[in-house]
Amino acid sequence: MNIVYKVSVIIPIYNVEPYLRQCLDSVCNQTFKDIEIICINDCSTDNSLKILEEYQKKDNRIVLVDLTENKGVGIARDIGIKSAKSKYVTFIDPDDWIKTNYVEVLYNTIKRNDTDFVGADFYLYKDGTIVDKATNINLVFDKILTKENIRRKYLQQLNNLSICLVWAKIYKKDFLISNNISFEIRKLEDNFFMWQVLIKAKSFMLIKDKLLYHRFARPGSSEISYTVDNRLYLFKKLYSLSQQDYYRNYLKDFYTYISISISYYIENTNIAEAKYSFYEFKKLFYNENFKLTYKYINIRNKIRLFVFNFCLKHNLNYVNIGKFHHKYNPIRLFTGK
């Protein structure tokens, strides 16, 4: 019997034995019952597969996909999208957990407003403590968003956790498939995915409800292992996208985003890595097409971006300036923040 559900919950799994039960319990115990739970085991070498098989016996909504080759979280999610038998999909990482009304709130919101995706807020969980993360004041909540200025604003601040991360959101599956939106890369895949989503979405909405608990920077998490080469690879993939007709209109937004992103990284890494990052970035991306826009970013990033661009133009090393800014934060003199 081919059962069709209203929402597919997609969970990519790799070596998360200590956290998996909490995640699965939170999903299986949702107030909204009409869900399928697609678990993609990405060649785990611990007891994750045994736990999945145990839960599958107790809950027939669990669909277990056991990969024979490690694909990475992005490709695992892509497999989940293609396997989904529902109109809507949502992603949950296996070391996170969700409130009992997570699916109900997201489903009702996207159904009622007929947007391409809906995003919610979340809590951070680090070192055994739940942090009631402050809602970002630069975001617009509880309104259907269609305007181009909002789209460009969010593209340029894609480093914002509430924007770049794919979980705590629900998407129309047909929207993803018809626009060929995928994860594709193995590191920083959320940023790559959300860049496509933001550009292609005709309408979307963000809500203030905190519905997910994100286990931040746990030991072994990929969040703490992103290198500059991962970032540069992401930037190259996004540049390739920007050469396509539909994405070409967002070339200035692309250069603005990657400049803000790499400048943050330079300010927060060691001197040798920072120097390599700056000159490698310049070699790869500073060309005749390089143009920035200051229209939709806050005053702190405007100043940061101006200085970074000045250094690129005049072949000055941004590293020392960036490190000074990070340590003493002189921009506060201008912003009062």
**Over residues 131-141, mean pLDDT:** 73
Question: 29-74: per-residue pLDDT in tens?
Answer: 999 999 999 999 999 999 999 999 999 999 999 999 999 999 999 9
CA–CA separation, 108 and 119 (whole Å): 12
**Would the pLDDT of 189 be above 80?**
yes
- What is the crossing angle of helices 73-83 and 189-200, to 10°? 40
DSSP 121-153: EEEEEETTEEE-PPPPTTS--SS-B--HHHHHH
* DSSP reduced 3-state for 312: helix
pLDDT at 59: 97
Give CA angle at 10 (7, 16), nearest 5°: 145
Q: For the chain, what are the domain ranges?
A: 7-222, 227-335
Q: What is the pLDDT of residue 332?
A: 47
Would you call 7 helix, strand, or coil by DSSP? strand
Q: What pLDDT, on the 0 to 100 scale, is given for residue 334?
A: 45
Which range in 96-110, 132-146, 157-171 is most confidently predicted, on average pLDDT? 96-110
Q: Quick check: 135 pLDDT over 70?
A: no
Q: What predicted TM-score, i.e. pTM, was given to this entire model?
A: 0.91
**Structure confidence at residue 193 as a pLDDT band (50, 70, 90):** very high
Whether pLDDT at 2 is above 90? no
Query: What is the assigned CATH class of domain 7-222?
Result: alpha beta
